[in-house]
Structure formats: C-alpha cells, structure tokens
Amino acid sequence: MDQKKYSWRKFFQLLISAKPANWIIFCALFASVITTVAGLVVPLFTKNLIDGFSIASLDVKMIALIVLAFILQAITNGFSIFLLNYMGQKVVATIRERLWKKIVHLPVSYFDNTKTGEMVSRMVNDTVVVKELIADHLPQFVTGIISVVGAIIILFFMDWKMTLIILVAVPITALVVAPLGQKMFKISKGLQNETANFTGSISQTLSEARLVKASNAETLETEAGHQGINRLFGFGIREAKVVAVLGPLIFFVVMGVIVGIIGYGGIRVSAGTMTTGTLIAFLLYLFQIIVPVTSFATFFAQLQKAKGATERIADILNETEEDFDAGKKVDVSGKTIRASDISFSYNEGEPILKLVSFDTKPGEVIAFAGPSGGGKSTLFAILERFYQPKTGEILVGDIPLSEISINSWRTQIGYVSQESAMLSGTIRDNLCYGLDREITEDELWNVAKLAYADGFISELPDKMATEVGERGVKLSGGQRQRIAIARAFLRNPNILMLDEATASLDSQSEQIVQQALANLMEGRTTFVIAHRLSTIVNADQILFIEHGEITGRGTHSELVASHPLYASFAEQQLK
C-alpha cells in the first residue's frame, strides 16, 4: 500500500475511533450553514442599498436587515465555533485516554526499548498537535469552506465572467501549495520525532540529577542539551522557510485577484454593463472568499503536522498489550513452583539463560547467587511474567504459569527491590499503591510495625501523610526499604521476591531491614537475589548462576564444600 495513503488512513481511523458525537457535528454544521447564509445575504442587501441609495429615500428596512444579518451571523458563528471546539477537545481527550490506557498496559519489554521521554512526548506534544488542528483550525476550515462555496455560487449568478477570474487562481495556487504541504509533512514529522528524543534526553538527565552533580557532568549535559536544542531549532527554521514561502505566495495570488476584479469591474461599471452596487457586492463576496482561503494554507500545514503526529500515536496504539485477565485464577498457596529448562535471550544469538531448572516447595526460601550479569534478574523478570521464556516452562502445581492470568499471578507476589521504588506522594499513598480496597489506619500502622517502620513514621510531623518527594528522596535508603516491606505486608502475598533488598544499606539499617524481612518471609515461598551471602546462608536452597547456567545448587554448607567459586565468595564475605 502506498505510504502516503496509509498515513492518511491512520489519521482518519484515529479520529473516527474517538467517536465524536453525531449530534454535535450536526448542530455545529447547521450553525455554520446559518452563519454562512447570514454572511452571504449581507452583500446582496448592500448591493440593493447602494443601487437605490439617496438621502431622500434612505431604506431603513434594508439597513435593519443588514444589522439583523450581522447579529445572527455573530451568534450562530460563536455557537458553531464553540461546538466544533468542544468536539475537538473531546476527541483529543478520548485519544489521550486510549493512549494512556494502552501505555500502562504495555509489557515491560516495550519500556525497556523505549525512552520514557519519548512516550511522554507522544502523550503530550503529539496530542497537542492534533488538538490544535481539531479545536482551533478545523472550525475555521469548516465555516470557511461553506462560506467559499456559497459565495462562489452567488457570484456565478451575479456575473459568471468575473467569477472565472477568481476560479482560475484556485488551481494555480493548488499546484504550488501541494508540494509545499508535502514538504511541511516531512519537516513536521522530523520535528515531532526530534522533540520526542529531546524530551527523552532531558527527562533522563533530570531524573538522575544527583548522578549528574556527583559526576561533574554539568558541562557534558549542557552540551548535549545544546545539540538537541540546535537540532530542534534547525527543524523550526526549515518549517519557517516553508511558511515564509506559503504565506506571501497566497497573498500574491489574492492581491492579483483583487486588482484584477477591481480593474475589470471598474471597466464594466464605466461601460454601464455593471452597477456600482454589484461591483461592491462582488468585492464583499471576494473578501468572504479571500479570508477563509488564506486560513486554508495554515490549516493544511497543521493538517500535515497532525498527520505525522497521529502516525506515531497510532504506532503505540497498535502495540500488543498485556491481557491481564486472560487465563485462570489460581490460588498459588501450598503449590510447588517448578521451572523446567528455561532459556531466554533479549537478542537473537545472545542467550541470557540456558536450560535453567529448579523446584520450589511451599514456604521454602530459594536464593539465587553468582557473579553480576549471570542472569539472576532476568530470571526474576520471567518469574514475574515481564518476559516469556523462549523455551521451557514454569509450572505452579500442575498448571503452566502461562495459563494463569497475569492479574491473578501478580496480585499474589510481593516484590521488594534494591531500589525501593516509590512514587511522589505521601507515605500512605505509597503503602496503598496498587490496592483496590479501602485500607484502614490501623492496618497501615500494623504493617508499619511489622516492617519496623512505625518508629520513624511516628516521629515525622505529618505521620502517614508525610510527603516523600519524587522517588522518595526525602527518606533514607533504609526508610524506603522498610516502606517497601510494609507495602508487601499489606498485599499479604503468597510469594515473595527479594531483589538484593539490603544491598545498598549500612550495617545498622541492614540489620533492621533483615528483621523486617524475616517477619515478611515467614510461611511464604520466597525467591531471593543476593550478592551478600550473609543474607542467604539460611536459605533452603541456593542456586549459583554463571553465564546463564546453574553451576551449583544446595544449601550454604553444601555449596561451600562442592562449588569452588561459591566457596571463594563465602571466604571473602564471611570472614
């Protein structure tokens, strides 16, 4: 299929999918027709007034009709513009809702391969382009089309010869404007892509402000930002060049038509083949054509920009999302979790996991140890169903994990990571995040106590209502970890996943967090990733993973005796 046709198909499909209300479209168009009709009768009234004008016979009735036409035109035009704007805002709001719903339901693999800032740009910048087209430019275009068509029809009846002068200019203008419109589309598409890249870069820099400061990277980031800004500036200049050609070109054609009409009409009036009133009416109609036509150039330029923006929006909407509810609802408590020959790779030919197998009995603690980059975190991602294994399967009891609904599976998992992810908001907001039930204050304080977090929370001025700052920057690492553990308690999971939960803590904080984790792990199947072997010496089973393969398994004492590299790690860490 031709790419150009495909682009337009995407554009119109996206707008139609927003399902604008038919009654709004009808009322808006009806009001536009009334506005146009009211505007079109004014020159006719003016013609009659001028042709029959004299001080002695001033036609008060005709003047009153002109005034009424102006008033009717103003009222219906305002009503039409409001309805079209409302429709535009509603369409864009619907597109944004669809886009946001799609984004939050996309699999983790999509986020791993796409910059956050790019998605923000699609959500904000690209939808703004569509909004500007529908809410601002489309109303003018619709009323303008009706006005132009109505004026040309009346002009044909008034004087077809002079009307032909106007119509000759239309195809000439179209032939020149069309390639400029295509040029504008390419520039606008590039501009939107560059805007997305720039948004992604600055989002990343701002989110890691501490790293920038600690690395003395201000100059580096300033230069990177300067380059991004210059690229945006370059696209802006190219866009300005097209507009600079388009505007004067339209103006040149319009002025040529006006001069031609006045010259030819003046000759006709002098020859007595046309009345002065007819020439004045003709000029008034001409302006009713010129004003909308000059705005058409802006509309088509914006239309090309919107087409480029909708392509990128449609690309996201066409992505395959996770189906959270497909599959069985299974209570995993009391069930064995068995991984059989799990293999996985992010890129073809670069295996991360190779035939990994293990059995986990209910309530057991299974630890994954080994050098960095061995595949431990990837195995966790597969257990959480962020990724699907390339080969092999995971069984929960006798049920393949792939047959259990994602929603059912993940609601039974409590996850505590090294980063202790937190959202901007209060401690209460973070504890209750993701839960769809009402949480009482007593429950919050109870889980805080179990996580050894009640002490520091009670000392804060606003207690549970304390704002934690972006990513929890107002709390220490140990405090964030205890909040994460309390959140896991609140979910009351059957399965725990601890991803180096104490790796970044000082010894005092680690001791408190370890006590909290011990409370949390009691009676629950627990998977642990740990570099500090001191945290897993009591695990029921330790799997040592190197280069994506399990090279050793057993208890701590068994591995010390049988696995040289594990024994070396233990000797270094457990002196």
Question: Does residue 264 have a pLDDT over 70?
Answer: yes
Long-range contacts of 326-330 (CB under 8 A, 24+ apart): 326/405, 326/406, 327/402, 327/403, 327/404, 327/405, 327/406, 327/408, 328/399, 328/403, 328/404, 328/405, 328/408, 329/404, 329/405, 329/408, 330/396, 330/397, 330/399, 330/404, 330/408, 330/409
pLDDT by residue (tens digit) across 151-194?
A: 888 888 877 777 777 777 666 666 666 676 667 667 776 776 77
3-state secondary structure of 191: helix
DSSP labels, 436-456: -S---HHHHHHHHHHTT-HHH
Average of per-residue pLDDT across 304-327: 78
From the candidates 419, 500, 546, 571, which is the catalytic residue?
Answer: 500
pLDDT of 514 reads 73
Average of per-residue pLDDT across 205-214: 59
| Close Cβ partners of 527 (under 8 Å, ≥ 6 residues apart) | 360, 366, 367, 368, 380, 383, 495, 496, 497, 498
- pLDDT bin (cut points 50, 70, 90) of residue 254 is confident
Higher pLDDT, 433 or 329: 329
pLDDT of 498 reads 81
Q: The pTM is what?
A: 0.70
How many Cβ atoms are within 10 Å of 262's Cβ, its own excluded?
A: 14
pLDDT of 465 reads 79
- Give the rounded percent of residues in the chain with a pLDDT score beyond 70: 83
Question: Does residue 54 have a pLDDT over 60?
Answer: no
Average of per-residue pLDDT across 114-139: 76
User: Within the chain, which residue ranges are assigned CATH 1.20.1560.10?
Assistant: 3-317
Of 216, 198, 569, 506, which Cα lies nearest the Cα of 367? 569
Q: Does the annotation mark 500 as catalytic?
A: yes
Question: Does residue 388 have a pLDDT over 80?
Answer: yes
Question: Does residue 494 have a pLDDT over 80?
Answer: yes
pLDDT of 294 reads 67
pLDDT of 18 reads 65
pLDDT of 232 reads 80
pLDDT by residue (tens digit) across 404-446?
A: 888 888 888 888 777 766 677 788 888 877 777 777 888 788 8
Decide if domain 337-573 falls under CATH 3.40.50.300.
Answer: yes
Angle CA 90–91–95, to nearest 5: 115
Lowest-pLDDT range of 13-27, 101-115, 305-319: 13-27
3-state secondary structure of 497: strand
At which residue do the structure tokens 């080994």 appear?
Answer: 370
- pLDDT bin (cut points 50, 70, 90) of residue 6 is very low
- pLDDT bin (cut points 50, 70, 90) of residue 59 is low
- pLDDT bin (cut points 50, 70, 90) of residue 1 is very low
- What is 3-317's CATH number? 1.20.1560.10
3-state secondary structure of 148: helix
Token readout for 234 is: 């370059």
Question: Does residue 96 have a pLDDT over 80?
Answer: yes
pLDDT by residue (tens digit) across 507-537?
A: 666 677 677 777 777 778 888 887 777 778 7
Question: Does residue 215 have a pLDDT over 70?
Answer: no
pLDDT of 423 reads 72
Distance from C-alpha of 55 to C-alpha of 530, rounded to nearest angstrom: 100
User: Within the chain, which residue ranges are assigned CATH 3.40.50.300?
Assistant: 337-573
Mean pLDDT, all residues of the chain: 77
Average of per-residue pLDDT across 273-287: 79
